[in-house]
Amino acid sequence: MPKIVDHEERRHRLAEAVWTLTLRDGLEGVTLRKVAVEAGVSMGQVQHYYATREDLVRDAIDRAVRALNARIEASIRATDPASAETMLRECLRAMLARDPESLRLLQLSVAVVGRAISDPAMAGVLAPGGGELLDFTAGLIAAAWQERGAPARGNGLIDADICWNLATSLGVDVALGQRSPDEALRVLDYHLDNLLG
């Protein structure tokens, strides 16, 4: 019937504007007017696509987290699946934001952490994939041991848990600029050398 526009494209453009403003002024500095200017549209249009400012920010953050996950999964799929150890290292390295776009998305993901303490819905977005990811990682660790001819030891699930905690913690450091990606990578590789050796 009436005009037909690409809602997805509109929302993506608005989310991009929110991203830019968030990295520059912080989450609290994101204003409907500033978003409208940044996206080159009227403030009314912003309100047309999001009922409330909260919805706008929430969706923008949600898109950032999903985009980061997509990037991580893509880099994993691009890795040689023949070597479990290579796959394991690549999975964890993906959290270290070694290119500008990943850094941007990682910083945005970190921006939600604060919000999550008083907003359970946001805490859910950050949940680390749940138990399947730990199972998968534990499997990689066991396979890497086998490749190296080392016997299995300890509790693989906890080892996987520790790996992801370390990787995400290093990722946060990188996102906050308190550590260079190279340094984070050295720490991560050191831990994996100990774990697999």
- 154-174 in b/e form (b: 16+ CB < 10 A) is eebeebbbebbebbbebbbbb
Tell whether residue 136 is a contact of DNA (CB under 7 A).
Answer: no
Q: Which of residues 51-110 bind DNA (CB under 7 A)?
A: 51-54
Per-residue contact track with its own copies, 3 to 32, x per CB under 8 A?
-------------------xxxxxxxx---
Token pair of 56 as six digits: 């706008």
Token pair of 177 as six digits: 């600029």
Specify whether the backbone of 97 is left (phi greater than 0), alpha (psi in -120 to 50) or beta.
left
Tell whether residue 154 is a contact of its own copies (CB under 8 A).
Answer: yes
Terminal alpha carbon distance of the chain: 66
CB 34 to DNA: min, Å: 6
CB 45 to DNA: min, Å: 3
- How would DSSP label each residue in 111-130? HHHHHHTS-HHHHHHHS-S-
33 contact, one of its own copies, DNA, none, CB 5-8 Å limit per kind? DNA
CB 53 to its own copies: min, Å: 10
Q: Which residues here bind DNA, judged by CB under 7 A?
A: 1-5, 7, 10, 30-34, 41-45, 47-49, 51-54
